[in-house]
Amino acid sequence: MDPRNDSPQQRLTLLELLLVWEGRIYRSRVCELFGIGLPRASQWIKEIRDLNPTWMQWDSKSRSYFVTADFYKRYTKASQASISESLSRYLSMVGLPYASALDDGTGVMWSATPSITAPSPKTFASLGHAIRQAKAVDIEYMSLSEPAPHRRTIHPHSLVLAGRRWHVRAYSETNQEFRDYALGRILEVKPLTRPSDRTRFDDPDWNTKVKVRLVAHP
């Protein structure tokens, strides 16, 4: 988008995408994505705050605006199709098209194939923020082997779209190993203040290159 030709509605739409899928907004991020200066970024954020004062809450420690529960109420009854479309637009905005196998430059998100099932925006944003901040999280999870909701502490390092589902790659304190967790099975994410001591560079399977031989189907 050419910032010289943007409209208030365009700005609102773009910043709302950031709020939905990253869970917060701050000036340097707006500058980075849209190629504008700090004064212009402040103007954009002020516009969305003035129009929707209950959407965001200022956090002085991180110097950013975090979304409120009131904001996410708008998405509780949204269709899978609309959420998937919103996620697709967000990924394109940050430079990661749905069909791309490349990472977004931050090492947070990876995309392999298109998906028709979208994760919970709040879950996606909470995990993405934990990854960027290198923090551990507590999750309430339902697995195939343990279908009843249970809590686990994990150290997430990447969000991954593989096949038709989003997963988070993370170190499990319970299992003492790196595992994939389907975002659709995560009921709640609780951020922890302690830093994560496990990164993607500590994940042997994540860093192992495998040679694949493809044979044409007869």
Pairing mode, strands 24-25 and 177-182: unpaired
Low-confidence winner among 23-27, 79-83, 104-108, 212-216 (lowest mean pLDDT): 104-108
Give residue 153's pLDDT. Answer: 97
Rg (CA), the chain: 18
Low-confidence winner among 41-55, 66-80, 96-110, 138-152 (lowest mean pLDDT): 96-110
Distance CA 30, CA 25 (A): 8
What's the chain's average pLDDT?
87
Angle between helix 8-22 and helix 80-93 axes, rounded to 10 deg: 100
Distance CA 62, CA 40 (A): 20
Query: Going from the N-terminus, what domains does the chain have, and what CATH number goes with each?
Result: 3-72 (1.10.10), 80-205 (2.30.30.100)
């170190």: which residue's tokens? Answer: 171
Q: Is a pLDDT exceeding 60 seen at residue 112?
A: no
Give residue 104's pLDDT. Answer: 47
Q: Identify the H or E element spanning 65.
A: strand 64-67
The DSSP secondary structure of 166-202, one letter per residue, reads EEEEEEETTTTEEEEEEGGGEEEEEEEEEEPS--GGG
Token representation of residue 29: 């991020």
Contact 135, 193 (CB under 8 A): yes
Q: Is a pLDDT exceeding 70 seen at residue 88?
A: yes
Give residue 107's pLDDT. Answer: 55
Task: Region of 35 please: left (phi>0), alpha (psi -120 to 50) or beta.
Answer: left
Give residue 101's pLDDT. Answer: 39
Give residue 85's pLDDT. Answer: 87
pLDDT class of 135 with cuts at 50, 70, 90: very high
Which stretch, 66-80, 101-115, 196-210, has highest mean pLDDT? 196-210
Phi, psi (degrees; rounded to nearest 5) at 209: -90, 135
Give residue 7's pLDDT. Answer: 82
* Residue predicted with more confidence, 96 or 3: 96
